[in-house]
Structure 1
Amino acid sequence: MCVCRLIRLVLLPTLALCVLVLAGCGNSESSGGGTGAGGSGDDLYRVVATVGMAADLVRRVGGDRVEVQQLMGSGVDPHLYKPTRDDIRDLMSGDLIVSVGLLLEGRLEETISRLSERQRVLVLGSSIPAELLLVDEEGSGGHPDPHVWMDASLWSRSIPAIVQALSEGQPEYAEEFAARGAELSSELSALHEYGVECLQSVPVERRVLVTSHDAFRYFGRAYGVEVLGVQGISTESEAGLLRVNELVDLLVSRGVSAVFSETSVSQKNMQALIEGAASRGRQVVLGGELFSDAMGESGTAAGTYTGMLEHNLTTVTRALGGRVPDGGFAVWQKAREATRE
């Protein structure tokens, strides 16, 4: 029996019981308009989002009409996150719950599914066409890879669903949401082009991205990089000695000079690769720390979706020997817009 299924059998009945208990204690009024299930009584529509990549898009589209609460902060691994009683209470108090789905929030998904019977829930992964999702038949039991935000052009496909959900909750602001959604879509389209340009500057033979787990498969497909992870698409999987040795062989035989750690995953596997390569006479360095399942600290550039992905694109490009446009994405985007006027 796979680890994910075992966890569900043990943990989810307890979560379901928590939901039922809290539902009996919560507000009995149904959600709607600006007051919602939380009964705040003001004009702000309250959204509870599971992870930063979802929360940031909602903030951008909702603007000052929406209050967004994010359950999992910087450095938190959603694959391993254990929801608390307070989390469930917060979810129940929202006018809208927004998640990624696709088994990213494995221990929360059954709870959110049950809550969908009494309040609005938006699963962003469901807005991505199934034919565009990557599936690892061996490592994930046939489930789609949930890390869709690693491709800016793919993640932007969730924006219309956000616009629609917020507009249904606050129809009087629908035009504002649509305008901000269009602006955000344009920004992510430009970010995607920026990423393609950056990674194309890396010599083809060097475009190998070795990371802690397979969170970068969409990144690799979008930006032309071969991606190899020590663990599978979930950090609940264990990295075996055989897999580490396979990757050490690859680092040595192909002359790969850098590997990358992740902010929400232990660096121990990366250190094992570096030490393994060194024992065979190949110097491999840590090319930098990437954001995978969580964004940076709130208030920093990497605390936004655009800033997080730009950081990854910049870090990977430079470590693999490519060139990043002077001034980064913001300057590049302004120059791009100027040439089109």
Structure 2
Amino acid sequence: MREAEIIFYNGLHLEGKMQETLEKIANSKPVIAVSSGIKKSLLKESEDFGGVYDPHIWFDVSLWKQAVNVVTNTLIKADEKNEQYYLNNAKDYLAALTALDAWVKQSISTIPEKQRVMITAHDAFGYFGEAYNIEVRGLQGISTRSEPGIRDITNLTQYITENKIKAVFVESSVSEKSLRAVVEGSKEKGHNVQIGGTLFSDAMGAEDTPEGTYEGMVRHNVNTIVNSLK
């Protein structure tokens, strides 16, 4: 980070204690939160921490488009002679994201409405649920620093059993242990719920894979959800 000319980060406390380091570095170079251009009225307040917003803005593609504008404007300010280059690239990428947003809406709409319930390890998909009309439930809250308790597991097991949920989803950056306990608890109650697959929540896929890009990550998640719930 000390060698970088510009640093972009998500913001909204996603980076945790690293925020202090970023603020110190900001005294000597541009350090930009890509979430800074999003209107507060469009953000979801976190139920875990009073006065703090849910940082998982990238799961609503239309919100992430606003982050692209922040990046574009920052690069132009730092490198004015190449303004047109950045504007052209931004135009192409925003068009791609507009198409991606429409594709997500269409794909999720193919899931029968009664089956449109997405259960994950932690509550990272709130923006996704609101943007694409799918109910979202997380075993634990936004933070992944603490383990869900027995009551959390029992309550979710009861909900899955009563509503005959077809599948739940593990996440690439969260332990599967507690969610698998929910699956086993559901079986004991006479309802077989499947692990529908792995979603990328707080991380993307490996470098040089489709899931290692933003668009590829979104498409992987949506295909996994639709194939398991449809």
RMSD in angstroms over aligned alpha carbons? 0.9
How far, CA to CA, are the matches of 1:185 and 1:250 in structure 2?
39
1:100 corresponds in structure 2 to: 10
Deviation at 1:129, TM superposition (A): 1.0
How far, CA to CA, are the matches of 1:280 and 1:134 in structure 2?
34
Decide whether the 8 Å contact of 1:140 with 1:233 is kept in 2. no
Correspondence 1:217 to 2:97: no
- The structure with more radius of gyration: 1
Q: What is the aligned counterpart of 1:135 among 37, 40, 45? A: 45
Structure 1 vs Structure 2: percent identity of aligned residues? 37
Q: What is the aligned counterpart of 1:199 among 108, 123, 138? A: 108
1:189 corresponds in structure 2 to: 98
Decide whether the 8 Å contact of 2:173 with 2:200 is kept in 1. yes
Helix, strand or coil at the partner of 2:190: coil
How far, CA to CA, are the matches of 2:51 and 2:107 in structure 1?
32
How far, CA to CA, are the matches of 1:241 and 1:127 in structure 2?
40
Letter matched to residue 24 of structure 2:
R
Deviation at 1:238, TM superposition (A): 2.6
Deviation at 1:125, TM superposition (A): 1.3
How far, CA to CA, are the matches of 1:319 and 1:153 in structure 2?
25
Helix, strand or coil at the partner of 1:106: coil
Gaps of 5+ in 1: 1-90, 322-341
Letter matched to residue 92 of structure 2:
E
Correspondence 1:291 to 2:182: no
Letter matched to residue 160 of structure 1:
N
How far, CA to CA, are the matches of 1:119 and 1:231 in structure 2?
37
Letter matched to residue 229 of structure 1:
G
Q: How does 1:1-341 map to 2 (within 5 A)?
A: 91-136=1-46, 138-321=47-230
Decide whether the 8 Å contact of 1:260 with 1:288 is kept in 2. yes
Deviation at 1:318, TM superposition (A): 1.0
TM-score (normalised: structure 1):
0.66
How far, CA to CA, are the matches of 1:275 and 1:183 in structure 2?
47
Encode CA deviations 1:162-220: one digit per residue, 9 max, x unaligned: 11111112111110101110111111111011000001111111111110101101111
1:19 corresponds in structure 2 to: none
How far, CA to CA, are the matches of 2:178 and 2:97 in structure 1?
32
How far, CA to CA, are the matches of 2:45 and 2:50 in structure 1?
9
Letter matched to residue 244 of structure 1:
I
Deviation at 1:107, TM superposition (A): 2.0
Letter matched to residue 195 of structure 1:
V
Deviation at 1:262, TM superposition (A): 0.4
TM-score (normalised: structure 2):
0.98
Helix, strand or coil at the partner of 2:169: strand
Structure 1 stretches (4+) deviating beyond 2 angstroms? none
How far, CA to CA, are the matches of 2:2 and 2:202 in structure 1?
24
Deviation at 1:140, TM superposition (A): 2.2
How far, CA to CA, are the matches of 1:99 and 1:269 in structure 2?
30
Aligned pair count? 230
How far, CA to CA, are the matches of 1:201 and 1:162 in structure 2?
34
Deviation at 1:247, TM superposition (A): 0.5
Deviation at 1:141, TM superposition (A): 2.2
